[in-house]
């Protein structure tokens, strides 16, 4: 059996950062930031997801093929979001009932 790539101190530190991110999310939820609520929450969620992918899924310590796979997944997600947003943003142009 091989040794762990990441020490337990890093796992505990990342876990503490994730708990801090959760606490910040709860704290910010009590404030009315207007349209910035979504942006703030998504920023915190992306930061937490990045920590999970990099450390708990060992992407940071993997080879280039794994990094390429993760990057292509993120690129595909961005394409899907761009297409969905393009559809959503053009729905105001549709005239119903004609």
Task: Please give the chain's pLDDT, 98 residues, in tens.
Answer: 566 677 889 999 999 999 999 999 999 999 999 989 999 999 999 999 999 999 988 888 889 999 999 999 999 999 999 999 998 888 876 566 55
* pLDDT in the model for residue 81: 94
- Helix, strand or coil for residue 3? coil
Separation between Cα atoms, residue 24 and residue 20, nearest integer Å: 6
Long-range contacts at 10-14 (CB < 8 A, ≥ 24 apart): 10/55, 11/55, 11/56, 14/51, 14/55, 14/56
Q: Rounded to two decimals, what is the model's pTM? A: 0.75
């Amino acid at each position: 059996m091989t040794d762990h790539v990441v020490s337990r101190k890093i796992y505990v530190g990342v876990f503490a950062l994730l708990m801090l991110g959760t606490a910040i999310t709860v704290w910010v939820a009590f404030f009315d930031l207007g349209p910035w609520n979504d942006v703030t929450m998504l920023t915190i969620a992306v930061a937490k997801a990045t920590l999970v992918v990099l450390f708990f899924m060992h992407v940071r310590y993997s080879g280039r093929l794994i990094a390429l796979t993760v990057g292509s997944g993120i690129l595909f997600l961005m394409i899907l979001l761009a297409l969905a947003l393009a559809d959503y943003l053009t729905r105001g142009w549709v005239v119903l009932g004609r």
